[in-house]
Structure 1
Amino acid sequence: MTVVQRRVAGQAQATRLRIVLAEDDPADALLVEELLADGDLDASLTWVRSAADARRAVAEGAADCLVLDLHLPDLAGIGALAEFLREVGVTAVVVMTGLDDRAAGLAAVQAGAQDYLVKGKVEGEWFARTVRYAVQRKQAGQAAAALAAARWRAQENARLERGLLPTPLLRDADIEVACGYRPSRAGALLGGDFYDVIETADGDVHAVVGDVSGHGPDEAALGAGLRVGWRTLVMAGHRGADLLRKLEQLLLAERRTPEAFATLVMATFPRGGGLTITRAGHPGVLLRSERRVRLVEPEHGPALGLVPGVGDWPQRPVDHRPEEALVMFTDGLYETRLTGGERLGEQRLTHLADTLGGLPAQEFVDTLIDLSRAEQAAHPEGRAGVLGSGDDVAVLYLQRKADV
């Protein structure tokens, strides 16, 4: 690439615009240099002789504005121009046309250029103003696009949240429910963690917390599908291993990669009392009373999709006292790494929960998540050096109201 770089004397380097001129005619290149010198634009000028060289200069970050001759040998036709403008992306483009080619300038603007100038009909101030406004319009367009993208992500988050984190469906059951969720990083799309609570016609209350492997929109969509599938199957009367076999079939049909799997834990509060737990490769649960918090890990089967078609998932009654609340969670709650490199772990998590005393349900959930992710450094566990979690966290808290 032949490059001749000239700067306007006396201009401050820090605020100088970078202009790349793509022009194969040396006389016209000299004209643009003179226009730049005659104006008040704080800019540097890099001259290249082809569209290919201009593309490389832009890719190397050398341009805030590209001044482009429409008759370069390697840029023939408005179709080629439109493709070229897409390739230069964030750089503002001002095209230069001949005296008898104004229509081409308008077509270039319609194809994506910010403005056009007619050779021989431009003065220094006009050139400077055109370049300056072209850069400003490009920046304003990028800001508007970024705002639109942010709004779209917010809308996607809201839609995913409705799918992954629904409102508990309870009618008459005396069950208090508190929920908590944190994505893996601030502002991130929701991951594949999900939960749900539903009361069936017989008065039993069923709950689930699940976690799809991986992060991203595909995992979130799969988690939402599993959550909806779980609620539908429960309402249709499926329970225990039978429910999980059908849920695994749904996962196999919907997953994008053969490596994707999901873990989950289900709980049932029969209307007459008691508690049963079914686990598919998922962590255990916490049982919380006013006196203490204990970790319970009933027998479990494999994660859904890990060994398709051969899994068995026992439904086990749990030694559950009426005054105890059930706390279900995903592994992001205890996979936090300490400063020494070791995990927070289930045992430390249990101790952490045990320090929260008689906090109300929702405050308990929120505080437990915050402490596990080092968001409340004033707590003794926080001072011990807990680092932030790299995984999503979902927590579901259930307790019979009569026993609160």
Structure 2
Amino acid sequence: MTSQPGAAGVASPALDRAAAWGVGQPSVLLVEDDAGDALLVEELVADSALGMRLRWVRSMAEACEVLASEVPDCVLLDLHLPDAQGLEAVSRIRERGEHVAIVVLTGLAEEGTGLAAVAAGAQDYLVKGRVEPELFGRAVRYAIQRKQAEQDAVALQASQMQAQENARLERGLLPRPLLRGDGVEVVTRYRPGRAHALLGGDFYDIVQSADGTVHAMIGDVSGHGPDEAALGVALRIAWRTLVLSGVTGADQVGRLEEILLAERAKAGVFATLVILSIEPGERRVRMVRAGHPGALLARADGVDWVEVRGGPALGIVPGGACWPVEELTVPEGAAIVLFTDGLFEGRVGRGIERLGEEGLLGVARELSDLPPAPFVDGLIERAELLAEEQGGLADDVAVLYLRWR
């Protein structure tokens, strides 16, 4: 509790001390240029049942200095300061203390000004000389609670808007396959990382052109957030457009890099991807790999890791990279499983060891007898289980399973 007031007309030294705010007690900053009115406020604090720590400053400039380094729970604000008048004072406090409750102090004939201050963002107003200690303590306490409720409502709305935006971006990242027949069996999965608020840039797509050729792609933009997710959406849509326009192979990757360089929010952002295509009745898959992990080749007699020769990720060597088109033979009834690195980069156990490519291959071989959908779900669930002690998979995971009938 603050000390009692001193001699009449002289402010108590307790009001001048720049003491630290009391732990567990509301902290109140009084902005008042009149020493007599300041003494009245100190008396209210002393007589109020609500314990609080009070700090007094005489001008808006002093108040701004305090708010630059301290965050009181409430500001008691006089509207007639030497360097700020009326609602201007409320506006300046709100600019520098967006999380602080404001209670305006007005004169007897200024109740209209108090109401205007509340409309301008203050939580309450009190009339000088007409406030009892109990009312004073309740007004300060309720003002702090109202400010907290306002902040909670704003945070909830922002969270809801972010969730809606994330959902829209995810729909753009993860489209429905555009297939013209039933010649290929497809299983797709997307699992957000544990930090779902930080949306990732994993994306995939499948398109079957008019001649029956099946084209598939999976990729991953570095980093997390709406910019990275939006870039992933742009790359996926551009890839589908290129396929439907007849642009294939390494030409696709070059065009996609041009789009990445034009659309990325900052230098240093890159994207990995792998593209494949197979014509009807063929067993040789054409693949282009740009810095992306290899794939799993799932056959009736087991699972192997396959990794064709490739080039760098998009954006690493702008305009100076090349990506060879490689061929991979797919046996009768076999499947290719593409995925993003979140599937095997999760840490396992309590140390820094990661599941890794060998670990993922071992898991795939244990699950090789399962049908396609349970096989894919099992890969993700087992990777999640192995990373459980580290809080689960931190990164997003996308998986694309393709088996030709």
TM-score range, shorter chain: 0.7 to 0.9
Pairs within 5 Å for 1:12-91: 16-58=25-67, 60-61=69-70, 63-91=72-100
Per the alignment, do residues 82 and 75 of structure 1 end up closer, same or farther by CA in structure 2, a change over 3 Å counting?
same
- 1:234 deviates by 0.6
- Specify whether residues 4 and 304 from structure 1 end up closer, same or farther in structure 2 by C-alpha distance, changes over 3 A only: closer
1:2 aligns with 2:16: yes
Could you report, residue by residue, the CA deviation over 1:185-205 in whole angstroms, capped at 9, with x for unpaired residues?
333232111111112211222
One-letter identity of the residue aligned with 2:157: A
| Alignment partner, residue 380 of structure 2 | 369
Identical aligned residues as a percent: 53
Normalised TM-score (structure 1):
0.87
Q: 1:386, CA displacement in angstroms?
A: 7.2
**Cα gap change, 1:92 to 1:232, in 2 (>3 Å):** same
SS in 2 for 1:63: coil
Deviations 1:100-131 (A, max 9, x none): 33333233222211111121222223222322
Q: Extract unaligned runs of 5+ from structure 2.
A: 1-14
Q: Give yes or no for contact 1:183–1:189 (8 Å, CA) kept in 2.
A: no
Residue 300 (str. 1) matches residue 310 (str. 2)? yes
Deviation per CA, 1:257-298, whole angstroms, max 9, x where unpaired?
A: 232221110121322132222111211111112431101111
The answer to whether residue 320 in structure 2 is matched with residue 310 in structure 1 is yes
1:377-396 correspondence to structure 2 within 5 Å? 377=386, 388-396=392-400
SS in 2 for 1:306: coil
Q: Does 1:332 align with 2:336?
A: no
CA contact (8 A) 1:327 1:395 kept: yes
Instruction: Give the count of matched residue pairs.
Output: 389
Hey, what does 1:281 align to over in structure 2? Answer: 291
Question: 247, 251, 257: which is aligned to 1:242?
Answer: 251
Residue equivalent to 1:111: 120
- The amino acid across from 1:218 in the alignment is D
Partner Cα separation in structure 2 for residue 158 and residue 73 of structure 1: 51
Aligned partner (choices 187, 204, 208) of residue 196 of structure 2: 187
2:178 to 169, 172, 182: 169
Q: Is the 8 A contact 2:303 2:368 kept in 1?
A: no
SS in 2 for 1:287: strand
Name the residue aligned to 2:3: none
Q: Give the Cα–Cα distance (whole angstroms) in 1 for the partners of residues 98 and 174 of structure 2.
A: 38
Alpha-carbon contact 2:60-2:89 (below 8 Å) kept: no
Distance 1:248 1:4, change over 3 A: closer
Deviation at 1:176, TM superposition (A): 2.2
| Deviation, structure 1 residue 392 | 2.9
Q: Distance in 2 between matches of 1:110 and 1:88?
A: 17
Which structure 1 residue ranges, 4+ long, deviate > 6 Å from structure 2? 4-7
Query: Match for residue 357 of structure 1?
Result: 368
- 1:213 aligned counterpart, secondary structure: strand
2:9 is matched with none
Shift of 1:83: 2.9
Structure 1 contact 173–203 (Cα < 8 Å) conserved: no
Give, in whole Å, the separation in 1 of the partners of 2:134 and 2:154.
30
Q: Equivalent residue for 1:151?
A: 160
Query: Counterpart of 1:10?
Result: none
**Residue in 2 that maps onto 1:217:** 226
What per-residue deviation string (whole Å, max 9, x for no partner) do you get for residues 194-246 of structure 1?
11111221122211001112222211111110000001111111110111122
Matched residue of 1:94: which SS?
strand
Task: Give the counterpart letter for 2:395 in structure 1.
Answer: D
Provide the secondary structure at the position in 2 that maps to 1:376: helix
- Aligned partner of 1:398 in structure 2 is 402
Task: Check conservation: 1:5, 1:47, Cα contact below 8 A.
Answer: no
d(CA) in 1 for partners of 2:142, 2:267: 52
Following superposition, the deviation at residue 161 of structure 1 comes to 0.3
Distance change in 2, residues 1:135/1:387 (3 Å): closer
TM-fit CA distance, 1:28: 0.9
Q: 1:55 to 1:371 in 2, by over 3 A?
A: farther
After TM superposition, give the deviation of residue 35 of structure 1 in Å: 2.4
CA distance in 1, matches of 2:130, 2:311: 79
TM superposition shift of 1:388: 4.6
> If the length of structure 2 is used for normalisation, what is the TM-score?
0.87
Q: Which amino acid aligns with 1:371?
A: R
CA gap 1:104/1:85 in 2 versus in 1, 3 angstroms: same
Return closer, same or farther for 1:175/1:61 CA change in 2, 3 Å cut-off.
farther
**Alpha-carbon distance in 2 for matches of 1:238, 1:25:** 77
**1-structure distance, mates of 2:237, 2:124:** 51
Report the CA distance between 1:74 and its aligned residue: 3.2
TM-aligned CA distance change 1:43 to 1:252, over 3 Å = same
Q: 1:80 to 1:122 in 2, by over 3 A?
A: closer
Q: In structure 2, how many angstroms separate the alpha carbons of the residues matched to 1:158 and 1:6?
A: 45
